[in-house]
């Protein structure tokens, strides 16, 4: 969540001491702001979230978001760290990630395909938060209002999933809610 472009960061007084410089690889730009993580269920419901200064490692944020959870946790390639996997195993969480290109994958192809399908679900939810709910737009000047705004967007997304399930549609097929 960029607070402002890097060119305006020096003169920006919003979130002073909270936001930090980060790099957004998809847009190939440096920004001043926050980095967020969401925890999504197998149906696409946002279960938990966190965001911190953009220079913070997402693997460290993962420990905060998974407190009290057990079972299988599917992460992205950015969460690969052996010590993190061990730490999560202590709380009965099995972290599974796609491997990087330079890593050998001994898992069965069917398991990797299922893993990638689950990752697509997570990317779809993140895309919906960004495109439909404009979660990357920061129109606040303090952390409390930013958190409140993000919670409202997560709630709206959850209501959309609920309405789709109630109508018998696919949970993340929001276009079906506006069709006549």
d(CA 149, CA 152): 5
In a domain, 47, yes or no: yes
* pLDDT score recorded for residue 100: 82
* pLDDT score recorded for residue 60: 83
Determine what percent of the chain is predicted with pLDDT higher than 70.
Answer: 92
Q: Which domain holds residue 41?
A: 2-56+105-168
In a domain, 179, yes or no: no
In a domain, 81, yes or no: no
d(CA 114, CA 134): 29
In a domain, 64, yes or no: no
In a domain, 118, yes or no: yes
Q: Give the count of domains, the chain.
A: 1
What's this model's pTM, rounded to 2 decimal places? 0.81
In a domain, 160, yes or no: yes
* pLDDT score recorded for residue 104: 85
In a domain, 11, yes or no: yes
In a domain, 174, yes or no: no
- Which of the residue ranges 14-28, 53-67, 86-100, 148-162 has the most confident prediction, judged by mean pLDDT? 148-162
Q: Is the pLDDT of residue 112 over 70?
A: yes
pLDDT per residue over 4-58, tens digit each? 555 555 666 677 777 777 877 777 878 777 888 899 998 999 999 988 888 888 8
């Amino acid at each position: 969540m960029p607070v402002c472009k890097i060119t305006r960061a020096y003169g920006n007084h919003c979130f002073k001491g909270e936001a930090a410089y980060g790099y957004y690889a998809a847009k190939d730009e440096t920004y001043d702001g926050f980095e967020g993580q969401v925890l999504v269920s197998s149906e696409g419901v946002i279960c938990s979230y966190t965001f911190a200064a953009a220079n913070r490692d997402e693997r460290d944020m993962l420990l905060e978001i998974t407190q009290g959870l057990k079972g299988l946790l599917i992460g992205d390639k950015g969460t690969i760290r052996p010590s993190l996997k061990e730490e999560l195993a202590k709380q009965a969480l099995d972290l599974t990630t796609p491997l990087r290109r330079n890593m050998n994958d001994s898992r069965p192809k069917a398991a990797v395909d299922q893993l990638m399908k689950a990752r697509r679900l997570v990317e779809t939810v993140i895309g919906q938060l960004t495109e439909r709910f404009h979660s990357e737009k920061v129109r606040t000047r303090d952390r409390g209002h930013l958190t409140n705004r993000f919670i409202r967007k997560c709630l709206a997304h959850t209501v959309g999933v609920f309405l789709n399930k109630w109508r018998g549609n696919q949970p993340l097929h929001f276009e079906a809610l506006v069709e006549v």
